[in-house]
Amino acid sequence: MATVKITVRPNGPYRVEGPEGAIELIDPAGNKHDLTGKPAFSLCRCGGSVNKPFCDGTHSKIGFQGAELAVKKVEGS
């Protein structure tokens, strides 16, 4: 079985990497996204992308902070 790697980027997207054909990305209507030629892609975690579910870099423009950092700030404020 192919290994798929998902990496949480600090204050950014989920980076998904795997052999072509090993990953299926399904929208809420049950349709498959065409991932042909995309062995790696980033999924938006901030909610600001205009190209969801993919990251378009908006997270850095809006100052998105991942939950892991936001929780640490609240606890240590």
Q: Return the residue of 12, 16, 23, 41 that touches ligand FES, per CB under 6 A.
A: 12
Q: Which of residues 17-56 bind ligand FES (CB under 6 A)?
A: 44-46, 48-49, 55-56
Cβ at position 56, least distance to ligand FES in Å: 5
DSSP per residue, 1-48:
----EEEEPTTS-EEEE--TTS---B-TTSPBP--TT-SEEEE-SSS-
Binding site for ligand FES (CB under 6 A): 12-13, 44-46, 48-49, 55-59
